[in-house]
């Protein structure tokens, strides 16, 4: 390859050398050597200037298949390279156009509304579902900022974020004679573009509302007859004093009726947490040290029976702002789980304080059986049990961590779970956006 290139260069330069030798001989014979050499060099220089001009003109007005009259091997190679790049670009462009066409065909067939935005959040393209949902017009709306058409403040704030959010956002939209709920998700697409997917979730919301209403109504309807049954069982148990076999049956029935009562109570609680908004005026400062001590005091009978104790690592007075009963319920569920899912004689540790970022954490650690990684994601689902037999034997309702999740959602908090089999688990609550209430005046719950 190198020899081939050298041969081409020598071949090209041979014409120049021959031209110079011929000019020199003619000049020498006619006693005008200097003049002839100057003339020949001028001709060569003008040839190169003309070649460069033609090459620049060819590049500036490039048309596929049109050859240039540039002279020289180097120029020929340069032109060939440009032509090859153009062919590659044509091939890549064709592939991109094909992929883009297939993508748009696929998006057009999707049940969700799809919109492509450019880097300035202007509409590049939309499918037929988006056209129906937002009444887009292909003539007027393509090239228009999407926030000029969809003006919902929640959507506008979401779309104007400096970085594309990994989480979807929900907003209301007027559609004909009804207001619908829309979920929108934005993902990067192409170069400096993004793709929006809109989904009408009104039907799901209505179904969830019906389900929640059903659970709430059934729970309330069951609570009254169950209370009556429990009362009569207590009376029959008192009348059967001295009859050991009867006492055993009545105890079992009472235990099961009390367990059912707890399940109904938890169902009512979790439904209220989902369907109502926290009353801001009822929020107060909650001393983590004090509320933990109260929970431990209430758990004394269980701890004594299981020969366990709870160690509070932190002794600081740290405060969070929220609804006392709800926070108490969340902490109680976490601590009770830690006690029940540890073997007797194994203690539980509680710690709380500030993270490096300034958030407040509250952790409950046990040294019990541990949880497999695949189970952790489902722990906060209603009635989900890692070990069904052991959970029922402990008298759990299967709703404890669901209640914790709902309480934390209402307090801008999150639950992190770390666990290893046969080593134990650590449940940590992170309270975000909490001010330091240490020096604030005391409230009723902290006196």
User: Using CA atoms, how far apart are residues 420 and 355, in angstroms rounded to an integer?
Assistant: 23
What pLDDT is attached to residue 370? 86
For the cut 70, the answer to whether the pLDDT of residue 76 exceeds it is no
Q: What is the mean pLDDT of residues 285-296?
A: 94
Q: Inform me whether the pLDDT recorded for 61 exceeds 60.
A: yes
Which of 137-151, 225-239, 384-398, 422-436 reaches the highest mean pLDDT?
137-151
- Please identify which residue in the block is written with the tokens 């890692």: 386
Q: What is the mean pLDDT of residues 210-238?
A: 75
pLDDT value at residue 442:
46
- Predicted confidence at residue 88, as pLDDT, reads 64
Q: Report yes or no: 250 and 386 within 8 Å, Cβ to Cβ.
A: no
Q: Which residues contact 97 (CB under 8 A, 6 or more apart)?
A: none
Query: What's the chain's average pLDDT?
Result: 78
* Whether the predicted pLDDT of 27 surpasses 90: no
Q: What share of the chain is helix, strand, coil (3-state, %, to 5)?
A: 55, 20, 30
**Residues 103-114, mean pLDDT to the nearest whole number:** 70
- In the structure encoding, which two tokens stand for residue 63, read together? 């048309």
Angstrom distance (rounded) from CA 186 to CA 194: 7
- Is the pLDDT at 234 greater than 70? The verdict is yes
Residue 19 pLDDT exceeds 80:
no
Calpha distance 355→89 (Å, rounded): 53
Please count the other Cβ atoms lying within 10 Å of the Cβ belonging to residue 401: 22
Q: Do 321 and 286 touch, CB atoms closer than 8 A? A: yes
Give me the half-sphere count of Cα atoms (radius 13 Å) on the Cβ side of residue 369.
Answer: 13
Residue 201 β-bridge partners:
none
For residue 42, the 8-state DSSP code is: H
Taking the C-alpha atoms of residue 50 and residue 66, their distance in angstroms, rounded to an integer, is 18
Task: Return the higher-pLDDT residue of 180 and 78.
Answer: 180
Give the rounded percent of residues in the chain with a pLDDT score beyond 90.
23
CB 107 within 8 A of CB 115: no
Output the pLDDT for position 329. 93
User: Cα–Cα distance between 13 and 95 in angstroms, integer?
Assistant: 42
By three-state DSSP, how is residue 300 classified?
helix
**Interval 78-87 mean pLDDT:** 66
427, two tokens? 């449940």
The answer to which of 32-41, 101-110, 286-295, 432-441 has the lowest mean pLDDT is 432-441
Predicted local distance difference test score (pLDDT) of residue 62: 64
- Overall average pLDDT of the 41-51 stretch: 73
Please name the helix (run of DSSP H) or strand (run of DSSP E) that holds residue 310, with its range, or none.
strand 310-312
pTM: 0.54
Residue 355 CB-half CA count within 13 A: 14
Q: How far apart are CA 135 and CA 265, in angstroms?
A: 47
């Amino acid at each position: 390859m190198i020899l081939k290139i050298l041969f081409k260069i020598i071949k090209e330069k041979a014409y120049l050398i021959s031209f110079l030798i011929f000019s020199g001989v003619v000049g020498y014979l006619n006693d005008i050597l200097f003049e002839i050499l100057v003339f020949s060099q001028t001709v060569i220089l003008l040839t190169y200037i003309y070649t460069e001009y033609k090459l620049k003109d060819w590049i500036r007005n490039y048309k596929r298949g049109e050859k240039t009259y540039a002279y020289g091997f180097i120029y020929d190679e340069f032109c060939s390279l440009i032509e090859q790049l153009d062919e590659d670009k044509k091939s890549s462009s064709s592939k991109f156009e094909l992929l883009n066409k297939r993508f748009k065909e696929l998006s057009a067939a999707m049940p969700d509304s799809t919109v492509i935005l450019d880097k300035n959040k202007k509409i590049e393209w939309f499918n037929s579902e988006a056209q129906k949902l937002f009444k887009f017009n292909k003539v007027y709306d393509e090239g228009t900022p999407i926030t000029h058409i969809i003006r919902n403040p929640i959507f506008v704030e979401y779309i104007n974020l400096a970085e594309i959010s990994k989480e979807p956002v929900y907003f209301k939209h007027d559609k004909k004679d009804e207001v619908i709920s829309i979920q929108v998700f934005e993902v990067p697409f192409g170069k400096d573009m993004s793709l929006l997917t809109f989904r009408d979730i009104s039907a799901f919301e209505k179904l969830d509302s019906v389900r929640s209403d059903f659970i709430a109504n059934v729970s309330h309807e069951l609570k009254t007859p169950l209370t009556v049954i429990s009362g009569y069982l207590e009376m029959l148990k008192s009348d059967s004093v001295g009859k050991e076999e009867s006492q055993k049956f009545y105890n079992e029935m009472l235990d099961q009726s009390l367990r059912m009562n707890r399940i109904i109570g938890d169902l009512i609680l979790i439904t209220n947490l989902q369907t109502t908004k926290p009353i801001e005026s009822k929020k107060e400062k909650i001393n983590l040290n004090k509320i933990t001590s109260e929970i431990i005091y209430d758990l004394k009978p269980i701890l004594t029976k299981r020969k366990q104790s709870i160690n509070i690592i932190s002794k600081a007075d740290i405060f969070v702002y929220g609804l006392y009963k709800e926070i108490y319920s969340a902490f109680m569920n976490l601590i009770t789980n830690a006690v029940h899912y540890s073997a007797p004689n194994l203690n539980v540790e509680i710690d709380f304080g500030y993270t490096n970022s300034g958030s407040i954490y509250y952790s409950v650690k046990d040294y019990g059986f541990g949880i497999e990684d695949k189970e952790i994601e489902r722990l906060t689902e209603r009635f989900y049990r890692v070990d069904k037999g052991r959970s029922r034997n402990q008298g759990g309702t299967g709703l404890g961590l669901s209640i914790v999740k709902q309480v934390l959602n209402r307090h801008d908090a999150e639950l992190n779970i770390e666990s290893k089999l046969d080593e134990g688990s650590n449940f940590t609550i992170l309270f975000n956006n909490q001010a330091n209430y240490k020096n604030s005046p005391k409230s009723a719950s902290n006196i």
